[in-house]
Amino acid sequence: MDNLFVGTLIESDLTRLIQKLNPNKIAILTDENTYEHCLSLLMNSVAGLESAEILQVEAGESSKDLEIVAHLYGALTEYGFGRYDLLINLGGGVITDLGGFLGSTYKRGIQFINVPTSLLGMVDAAIGGKNGVNLGVYKNQVGTINFPVQTFIDPAFLQTLPETERLSGYAEAIKHGIIHGRSLFEKIIKSDPSQIDATLLEAVCSVKADIVKADTFEKGDRKLLNFGHTFGHALEGVMMEGKGITHGYAIAIGMLVESRISLDRGLLNNEDWELIKQNLIFKYPIPHLSEQEMDRLLDLLQNDKKNHSGTIRTCLIEGIGRCIIDQEVSGEEFRNAFNSITNDL
Ligand SMILES: NC(=O)c1ccc[n+]([C@@H]2O[C@H](COP(=O)([O-])OP(=O)(O)OC[C@H]3O[C@@H](n4cnc5c(N)ncnc54)[C@H](O)[C@@H]3O)[C@@H](O)[C@H]2O)c1
Ligand SMILES: [Zn+2]
């Protein structure tokens, strides 16, 4: 289960936790950016890390790769890392996914701690126990569900996060608000993604942590977290073939489209639709898609691995705070919803 601390690292009990775990050796996994921007805050806030081994990978999705994992197994072995030693994952979702997998499989599993440094990592990737790597173009094809000893979330790391990455994480925060309820949603949309405070961050993180606690293995309600992801993943796939799009941006557009289908089906009232639309479109302008790109997107939607027997299943909403899972939607409904949003602009 997730064990979350949200606040300043220096006020956290990470130092005491490390003393309690009492490892002989500690390794800190970073990428080139978190090495540069985040490592000193961690080292200055927590005692006992002076002799830690620093493992560094290249920044970006390409590090979620089995060859990198093999390289890291080798580094830990060379370092004499044992079953009771400690791995700290310091970075965005790439590092917590990669480090979570490394920590879950090296010597059949060692203790690891997550210290997410991107907004997306804080509100999403570092929570929920899912970790893993990609297999070529197949995202998250190999992995485990296994939880860190604890996750420490310090908003101070967000100061150095680039604006596009901040907006990417903010979209997942908005998603948590939409699936949880109006009051949280309104607090999120009124907040500035660069100044998000610990209290709000904790409320946002708890949405995912609570859902995962009730349904860790995604038999039911964990699917609520996929709101915006059916269309969003397909859009990510199409954009990957061109100039690219951050995950959160694609999910923001996915939420718009899935909300519009909800409106068109009479599930969502006009007032909530306008509230969602105004807040999302303002930060995440609708990308232009050619006819060919839209056709390709629909192909990807039909082939989404979450579908059963050729039908597309997605989350829809009956209002803010009322998300429903496993709704069958046709490719044409997705196309029409996207076109309606574009035509209404
Ligand atoms: N396990 C899950 O449940 C889950 C959920 C959502 C996403 N994910 C995964 O998370 C990954 C995306 O996460 P992400 O958006 O955090 O990507 P990321 O880890 O690549 O981080 C984005 C960029 O920001 C940089 N960065 C991170 N923190 C920084 C900081 N404080 N200052 C300056 N730069 C910083 C990184 O080096 C990187 O260049 C994907 O691989 C996705 O599959 C996993
Ligand atoms: Zn997501």
Q: Which atom of ligand 1 is nearest to the CA of 32?
A: 37
Q: Angle formed by the axes of helices 182-190 and 163-180, to 10°?
A: 160
pLDDT 10s digits, 54-104:
999 999 999 999 999 999 999 999 999 999 999 999 999 999 999 999 999
Q: Which atom of ligand 1 is nearest to the CA of 37?
A: 32
For ligand 1, atom 9: residue with the closest CA: 93
Same-domain pairing of 171 and 294: yes
Q: Which atom of ligand 1 is nearest to the CA of 143?
A: 1
DSSP letter assigned to residue 121: I
CATH at 184: 1.20.1090.10
Same-domain pairing of 33 and 114: yes
Q: CB count, 10 Å around CB of 308? A: 9
Measure 131 CA to ligand 2 centroid, in angstroms. 13
Same-domain pairing of 133 and 91: yes
Measure 120 CA to ligand 2 centroid, in angstroms. 8
Please give the torsion angle defined by the CA atoms of residues 131, 135, 138 and 142, in that order, rounded to the nearest 10 degrees.
-30
Measure 32 CA to ligand 1 centroid, in angstroms. 12
3-state secondary structure 168-231: HHHHHHHHHHHHHCHHHHHHHHHCCCCCCCHHHHHHHHHHHHHHHHHCCCCCCHHHHHHCCHHH
- Ligand 1 pocket member 65 (CB < 6 A): no
Q: pLDDT at position 309, please?
A: 63
Same-domain pairing of 144 and 191: no
The whole domain housing 226 covers 166-344
DSSP letter assigned to residue 241: T
Q: Cα angle at 140 between 261 and 55, to 5 degrees?
A: 135
Same-domain pairing of 156 and 170: no
Q: Which atom of ligand 1 is nearest to the CA of 119?
A: 16
Q: CB count, 10 Å around CB of 35? A: 19
pLDDT 10s digits, 229-264:
999 999 999 998 777 899 999 999 999 999 999 999
Q: Please provide the DSSP assignment of 148-171 as one string.
A: -S-EEE-GGGGGGS-HHHHHHHHH
Same-domain pairing of 141 and 198: no
Answer with the one of 160, 186, 210 that is the final residue of a domain: 160
- Joined together, the tokens standing for residue 281 give 């479109």
- Ligand 1 pocket member 194 (CB < 6 A): no
- Ligand 1 pocket member 226 (CB < 6 A): no
Q: pLDDT at position 310, please?
A: 66
User: What's the pTM?
Assistant: 0.96
For the chain, the C-alpha Rg in angstroms (whole number) is 20
Distances (CA, A) of 49 to 53, 64, 151, 181: 9, 25, 17, 40
**Ligand whose nearest atom lies closest to the CA of 119:** 1
Q: Residues 97, 102, 105, 110: is their CA dihedral positive or negative?
A: negative
Q: Cα angle at 306 between 261 and 309, to 5 degrees?
A: 90
- Ligand 1 pocket member 117 (CB < 6 A): yes
CATH at 90: 3.40.50.1970
For ligand 1, atom 2: residue with the closest CA: 125
Cα–Cα distance measured from residue 13 to residue 6, given in angstroms and rounded to the nearest whole number: 11
Among 71, 77, 74, 76, smallest CA distance to 88 is for: 76
Domains held by the chain: number: 2
pLDDT tens digit at each of 345 positions of the chain:
899 999 999 999 999 999 999 999 999 999 999 999 999 999 999 999 999 999 999 999 999 999 999 999 999 999 999 999 999 999 999 999 999 999 999 999 999 999 999 999 999 999 999 999 999 888 899 999 999 999 999 999 999 999 999 999 999 999 999 999 999 999 999 999 888 999 999 999 999 999 999 999 999 999 999 999 999 999 999 998 777 899 999 999 999 999 999 999 999 999 999 999 999 999 999 999 999 999 999 999 988 656 566 689 999 999 999 999 999 999 999 999 999 999 987
Same-domain pairing of 192 and 330: yes
Distances (CA, A) of 131 to 58, 147, 207: 18, 9, 19
For ligand 1, atom 16: residue with the closest CA: 92
Please give the torsion angle defined by the CA atoms of residues 295, 298, 302 and 305, in that order, rounded to the nearest 10 degrees.
120
